[in-house]
Amino acid sequence: MAECTTGTQALVTEGTDVRAPATGGMESPAAERPGVGPPAGERGRLDRAEASPLHGTDARSGTRPLHGADTGCEALPPRETDAQSEAQLLHGADPPSEPLPLQGSGPPSEACPLYGPEVASAAPPRHGPEVPPEAPPRHEPDVPPAAPPRHGPDVPPEAPPRQGSDARPETHAVDGHEAAVILERVRASVDPELRAALESLPGSLRRVALYHFGWEQADGTQAAGNAGKAIRPALVLTAAAALGGERARAAAVRAAVAVELVHNFTLLHDDVMDRDTTRRHRPTAWTVFGDADAILAGDALQALALRLLAEDPHPAAAPAAARLAACVVELCEGQHEDTAMQALGPGEVTLDQVLVMAEAKTGALLGCACALGALYAGASAEDVGALDAFGREAGLAFQLIDDVIGIWGDPGHTGKPAGADLAARKKSLPVVAALTSGTAAATELAELYAAPYAEEDLARTALAVEEAGGRDWAQAQAADRMARAMGQLSRAVPDPEAAGGLLSLAEFVTRRSA
C-alpha cells in the first residue's frame, strides 16, 4: 500500500458539534502543539508487520506500526459545516441536498489518493485542453468521459480532491449521500427479518429487546423506532454485492441480521457494565428493566444470531457461523481488557494496550461483517481475509472518532451527556495518547483522572486532553487507519465501481459527528 503523507489527514471528523463548547476549541494543527502522540520511547512498539492479527486473517502483514506520531499524517482541525445535515444522515432522515465532500478543502497539490497499492509519478489533468488552468470548472464538455480510478496501480499521487457532487467522477459517487442511500436500503432489507427474529423471543425478553431497538416504549406500546445506523449489516450486504452482485447480496440478508443481533447483544451488556444511562436518545434498557433482564435479553440476541445462521441453507452459512462465534469470543476479550483498564491508574495504560483492545472490541466485528459478505459471495480465502482486514482498519478509525465524539460531541446529536467518557474516567484512545505525551498538560490530566469526578472540572479535563495532543493524535490516527483500510479494499475489490459502496460506508463512519 502506498504511503500517504498528506491526503489522509483530511479524513477526520467534521462539524462544530465535535468541538468542546466549554473550551471554545483549539484550532492550531498538531504540528504546532507539544506532545502530540506518545513519547519517543513509546512510539511504534507494536509493529503490525510482526504482530499476528487477533482474528482470522494474515492480510495485514504489510501494514505499518499501530501508532505513533511518525505515521506521516498530520491532523487537521475539523471544518465548520452544517452539523444538522450530518445528524440527519446518522439517524436515517432524508439525506441532505448537498453531499459531504470526500476529503478536506486543502489545495490539490497537497492531496493524495485514498488508496491504491502503487502510485504514478504524475497526475493526469482532470480538465480538457481548453480549460484555463487558473480556474478549472467542475463540469465542461471537454472533461474526459472516464475519471481516474479511486484505487489501483494507476492512481496519481496528486489527484485533486473532490469538492462536491458536481465534481465527482462518473464511476461511482463517494459521499455522505450515497452512504445514506445504502443504509436506507439496508434497513429495508434487514428490518423485516430482524423484527421477525425478535418476535420469536419469549414475552419478557421480547419486550426488552423491542424497547432496546426503539420499536416499543417501556410500557409495550408502539414507538417510532431508532434501531441505530445499521453500519454492520450494511457492510455484510455491500461486501457481498461488491464480490458477487445482487444475487449474493440477497442471499446474505440472514447473515447481516445475525451480525446486527450480535452487535446489539454487546450494546446491552456494555451499557450494564459501563453504567451508561442513555443510548439513542432514550434511557438504556438496564435502567428501565433492571440489570438481569438487560443481560438476559443480550444473551438471547446472541443465541438468535447463531440460530439464524444454523437454519440458513446457504453453503456459506456454516463457515459464517464459525467465524461469527470466534468474533464474539474476541469481542468478549476486548471488553474484558477495556473493563480491566478502567481499574488501572492514569499512568498504567499504554497506547499499545488500548489500540489492541480497541481492535478486539470494535474492529473485530466490522471485519467479521465484511468477511461474512465475502463468504456469501463465494470469494477466495485471500479476498475474505483482505475484506476482514479492511473492516478492522476502518473499525479502528471508527473507534478513534467515536472516542473523540465521546469527549467533544454535541449531546443533541450523540444522545449521550456531554463529556460522558471523561466523567466516567474512561481510558479512551485520545485520553491515553494525552496521558503518555510527557507534556505539562498530561501531568494535569493525570491529576484530574486520579481524583473523583467533579462536574466543574469537566471543561478543564477536556482542555487538558486537547492541549496534551490527544485530540490531534486521534484524528491523525483515524486518517492513517482509513488509508490502510483502502489498501486492503483495493486488494479484494480492484474495480472502483464495485468498491464504491464499501468506500462510502468506511468514509461515512469516520466523518460523523454522532
**Higher pLDDT pick, 33 / 198:** 198
Give the pLDDT confidence score for residue 106 in this predicted structure: 40
What mean pLDDT, rounded, does the chain reach? 74
Q: Which of 27-36, 227-236, 285-294, 371-380 has the lowest mean pLDDT?
A: 27-36
Query: Which pLDDT belongs to residue 59?
Result: 36
pLDDT score for 82: 41
DSSP state of 360: I
With contact defined as beta carbons under 8 Å apart, do 2 and 66 qualify? no
Looking at residue 381, its amino acid is A
Band of residue 439 on the pLDDT scale cut at 50, 70, 90: very high
pLDDT at residue 123 tops 80: no
Rounded Cα gap, residues 15 and 38, in angstroms: 27
Q: What are the DSSP calls for 252-263, one per residue?
A: THHHHHHHHHHH
Closest CA to 507 of 184, 240, 232, 178: 178
* pLDDT tops 50 at residue 108: no
| Highest-confidence segment of 33-42, 143-152, 365-374 | 365-374
Say which residue, 411 or 218, is predicted with more confidence. Answer: 218
Average confidence (pLDDT) over 71-87? 39
Mean pLDDT of the region 475-500 = 95
Instruction: Give the pLDDT confidence score for residue 514 in this predicted structure.
Output: 56
pLDDT in tens, 498-507: 999 999 999 9
Rounded to an integer, what distance in angstroms lies between the CA atom of residue 339 and that of residue 266?
Answer: 13
Query: And the C-alpha cell for 84?
Result: 444538522
Which residues, at least 6 apart from 139, have a Cβ–Cβ distance to it below 8 Å?
A: 166, 167
Q: Which residue has the higher pLDDT, 464 or 148?
A: 464
Rounded CA-CA distance 461/455 in Å is: 10
DSSP lists the bridge partners of residue 282 as: 279
pLDDT digits (tens, 9 = 90+) for 246-294: 999 999 999 999 999 999 999 999 999 988 888 888 899 999 999 999 9
Amino acid, single-letter form, for residue 462? A
Task: Assess whether pLDDT exceeds 70 at residue 74.
Answer: no
3-state helix, strand, coil in the chain (%, to 5): 55, 0, 45
Residue 189 has pLDDT above 70, yes or no: yes
Alpha-carbon 348 to chain mean position = 27
Quote the percentage of the chain above a pLDDT of 70: 65
Report the C-alpha gap between 372 and 377 in whole angstroms. 9
- Could you give the percent of the chain with pLDDT greater than 90? 54
Report d(CA 86, CA 88) in Å as an integer.
Answer: 5
Contact assessment for residue 20 and residue 126, using Cβ atoms and an 8 Å cutoff: no
pLDDT at 144: 40
Judged against a pLDDT cut of 70, whether residue 476 lies above it is answered with yes
Angle at 324 between CA 395 and CA 389, to 5 degrees: 35
Q: Distance between alpha carbon 358 and the CA centroid of its chain, in Å?
A: 11
Helices 381-408 and 496-510 sit at what angle, rounded to 10 degrees? 30
When mean pLDDT is compared over 97-106, 120-129, 173-182, the highest value belongs to: 173-182
Kindly indicate the confidence band of residue 45, based on its pLDDT and cuts at 50, 70 and 90: very low
297/303 Cα distance (integer angstroms)? 10
